[in-house]
């Protein structure tokens, strides 16, 4: 049961463990996306800053109960190209600040309404595709092949490989130590899912993800001392920057170069970031709300404002651009998070751990974290989801499965665009088929057809109405009834009038109209 009456700590027994799991998932994603975006190890902390801001700042201002924000893989290519074209990371930070301001303005202009126009079939297809992507992308890390960064979602990778060639090379160049750690981690995570484990008091509060991470560290330390050939080091581990002093830690923070405001390219980058980040956020909001066990609804305009504030702050202190991210959000939900306290908690843990225990964090094997993400992927793409969509009929299933395939073979935004195109086709087809009700009666003086128009008749219905009128038999009578229509587009009125004046007399068809305005009167208005 959800308790909303006692403030931030009302659901802390659920939110604290969930926040801890989200933190474990977010840490390697922040680092991986930072390295892929900047190509510079000295800027790894920019991803952590974005994760901290996404948790604490965006989490505080957002109305999303379970959404988690941070740096997103979908922005990597944009960030890489932007830093290159602008000439410096500091100039890019200026663009991030401007992007935040644009999002903030968009929120006040109520642009968040666009988030309600994504079809359910496409959103569910996105969730299923993200689940499969996580499974496919984490297999190499589970096998100890860590050539690509954790968090890459695109089919074609920055290193020239793709999702399937990466798996092929992972099986060729696997690591025994990583396989052992990931296999044990997976087994324990599946065990933690069993009902009897949830009845044990300790495991109600200690998440399975924390347990497997600690065990992964201990197993790898055993390998280092007893079986060095199986030990994991270097790129197989979390690689958080370690500061030797407070001043060195502060040097991780960068500041925008405001002189770049005179460069027109900065504004182009800012608009691109704002648009893409907003679209990704609105998609994630819809998906997260569908996963929310309490079926709450996120205010999308408030979310755009929160993202805008987050990107403004992130840009001011050296962070990457932020969006709401489905991987972190789904991990939050799967771990039992109930309110946005879990999001804020994950940001606080990121900040404190980066400040005080970066050396300990660098003992975490990526294989342990891969096992956690494999479970998240499985939960997002269960077979029951496909069964449920199939039972809804082809109008829902085809856009759903096309979205899945498109995302898997391209990337998130391209896949969504393809899925949207297919969904719109089915929507238009349905609109075409249900523009009117057709009733045919046999009477002594011949056939009488009654055409009852639907409540909303738009230009999209022109084709079906015109087709029905053209197919009427000669010497018949048709009654076109618009009494139930709230609005009839001019295009449809024009078709009816042309038929009445020109086509009907040629076929000896008698036309009667009820509550159908004349075109001449509409034009006069």
Q: Which of 360, 384, 408 is the last residue of a domain?
A: 384
If asked whether residues 364 and 468 sit together in one domain, one would say: no
- For residues 499 and 371, membership in a common domain is answered with no
- Alpha carbons 338 and 7: distance in angstroms, whole number: 12
Do 28 and 164 share a domain, yes or no? yes
Helix/strand/coil for 256: coil
302 domain-assigned:
yes
Same domain, 255 and 328: yes
Query: Do the domain assignments include residue 15?
Result: no
Q: State the total domains in the chain.
A: 2
Dist. CA 343–CA 68, nearest whole Å? 6
Structure tokens given for 14: 């659920």
Give yes or no: residues 145 and 67 share one domain: yes
Distance CA 140, CA 162 (A): 12
Cβ neighbourhood burial of 397 (10 Å; 0-12, 13-18, 19+): middle
For residue 416, tell me if it sits in a domain. Answer: no
Query: Considering 384, 419, 444, which residue would you say is the last residue of a domain?
Result: 384
**95 occurs within a structural domain:** yes
326 and 457 in a common domain: no
> Does 185 lie in the same domain as 302?
yes
466 lies in the same domain as 367: no
Q: What are phi and psi of 226, to 5 degrees?
A: -115, -30
Residues 58 and 165 in one domain: yes
In a domain, 428, yes or no: no
- Using an 8 Å Cβ cutoff, are 219 and 180 in contact? yes
Final residue before a domain boundary, out of 343, 363, 384: 384
- The reply to whether 26 and 114 lie within a common domain is yes
| Local confidence pLDDT in tens for the 525 residues of the chain | 565 556 777 889 899 999 999 999 999 999 999 999 998 888 999 999 999 999 999 999 999 999 999 999 889 989 999 999 999 999 999 999 999 999 999 999 999 988 888 888 999 999 999 999 999 999 999 999 998 888 888 888 777 789 999 999 999 999 999 999 999 999 999 998 888 777 776 666 778 899 999 999 999 999 999 999 999 999 999 999 998 888 999 999 999 999 999 999 999 999 999 999 999 999 999 999 999 999 899 999 999 999 999 999 999 999 999 999 999 999 999 999 999 999 999 999 999 999 999 999 999 999 999 999 999 999 999 999 999 999 989 989 999 999 999 999 988 889 999 999 999 888 777 765 555 566 666 655 567 888 888 877 877 777 778 888 888 888 888 888 888 888 888 888 888 888 888 888 988 888 989 888 876 655 545
Considering the domain architecture, whether residues 179 and 271 belong to the same structural domain is answered as yes
Residues 33, 76: contact at Cβ < 8 Å?
yes
The answer to whether the beta carbons of residues 13 and 205 sit under 8 Å apart is yes
Domain range for 83 is 21-384
CATH of residue 441: 3.30.750.24
- For residue 373, tell me if it sits in a domain: yes
Let me know if residue 422 belongs to a domain.
no
Locus of tokens 């929310």: 292
Please check whether residue 61 is in contact with residue 48, taking contact to mean a CB–CB distance below 8 angstroms.
Answer: no
327-354 b/e (C-beta count within 10 Å ≥ 16 → b): bbbbbbbbbbbbbbbbbbbbbbbbbebb
Same domain, residue pair 195 and 275 = yes
**362 located within any domain:** yes
Distances 121 to 117, 392, 419, 421, 426 between C-alpha atoms, Å: 12, 10, 9, 12, 11
Helical axes 120-142 vs 176-192, angle rounded to 10°: 140
User: pTM score, two decimals?
Assistant: 0.84
């Amino acid at each position: 049961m959800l308790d909303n009456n006692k403030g931030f700590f009302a659901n802390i027994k659920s939110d604290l463990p969930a926040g801890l799991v989200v933190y474990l998932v977010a840490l390697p994603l922040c680092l991986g996306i930072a390295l892929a975006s900047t190509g510079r190890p000295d800027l790894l902390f920019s991803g952590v800053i974005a994760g901290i801001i996404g948790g604490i700042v965006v989490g505080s201002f957002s109305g999303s109960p379970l959404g988690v924000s941070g740096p997103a893989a979908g922005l990597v290519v944009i960030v890489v190209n932007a830093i290159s074209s602008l000439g410096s990371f500091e100039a890019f930070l200026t663009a991030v600040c401007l992007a935040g301001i644009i999002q903030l303005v968009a929120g006040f202009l109520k642009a968040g309404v666009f988030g309600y126009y994504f079809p359910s079939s496409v959103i569910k297809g996105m969730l299923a595709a993200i689940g499969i992507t996580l499974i496919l992308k984490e297999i190499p890390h589970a096998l100890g092949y860590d050539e690509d960064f954790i968090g890459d979602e695109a089919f074609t990778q920055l290193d020239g490989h793709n999702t399937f060639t990466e798996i092929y090379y992972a099986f060729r160049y696997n690591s025994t130590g990583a396989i052992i750690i990931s296999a044990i981690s997976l087994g324990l995570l599946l065990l933690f899912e069993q009902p009897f484990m949830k009845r044990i008091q300790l495991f109600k509060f200690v998440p399975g993800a924390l347990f497997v991470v600690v065990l992964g560290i201990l197993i790898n330390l055993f390998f280092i001392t007893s079986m060095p050939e199986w030990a994991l080091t270097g790129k197989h581990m979390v690689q958080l920057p370690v500061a030797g002093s407070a001043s060195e830690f502060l040097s991780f923070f960068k500041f925008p170069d405001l002189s770049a405001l005179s460069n027109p390219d900065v504004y182009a980058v800012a608009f691109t970031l704002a648009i893409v980040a907003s679209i990704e956020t609105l998609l994630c909001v819809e998906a997260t709300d569908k996963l929310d066990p309490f079926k709450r609804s996120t205010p999308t305009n408030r979310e755009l404002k929160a993202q805008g504030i987050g990107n403004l702050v992130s840009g001011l202190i050296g962070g990457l651009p932020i969006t709401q991210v489905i991987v972190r959000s789904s991990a939050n939900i799967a771990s039992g998070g109930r309110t946005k306290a879990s999001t804020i908690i994950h940001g606080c843990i990121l900040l404190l751990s980066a400040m005080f225990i970066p050396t300990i964090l660098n003992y975490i094997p990526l294989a342990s974290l891969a096992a956690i993400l494999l479970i998240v992927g499985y939960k997002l793409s269960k077979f029951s989801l496909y069964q449920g969509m199939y039972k809804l009929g082809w109008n829902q299933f085809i856009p759903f499965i096309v979205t899945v395939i498109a995302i898997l073979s391209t990337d998130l935004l391209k896949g969504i665009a393809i899925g949207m195109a297919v969904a719109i086709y089915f929507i238009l087809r349905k609109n075409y088929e249900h523009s009117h009700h057709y009733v045919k009666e046999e009477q002594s003086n011949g056939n009488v057809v009654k055409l009852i128009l639907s409540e909303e008749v738009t230009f999209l219905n022109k084709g079906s109405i015109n087709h029905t009128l053209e197919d009427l038999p000669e010497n018949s009578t048709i009654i076109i009834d618009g009494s139930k229509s709230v609005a009839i587009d001019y295009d449809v009125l024009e078709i009816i009038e042309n038929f009445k004046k020109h086509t009907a007399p040629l076929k000896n068809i008698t036309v009667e109209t009820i509550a159908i305005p004349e075109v001449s009167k509409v034009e006069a208005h």
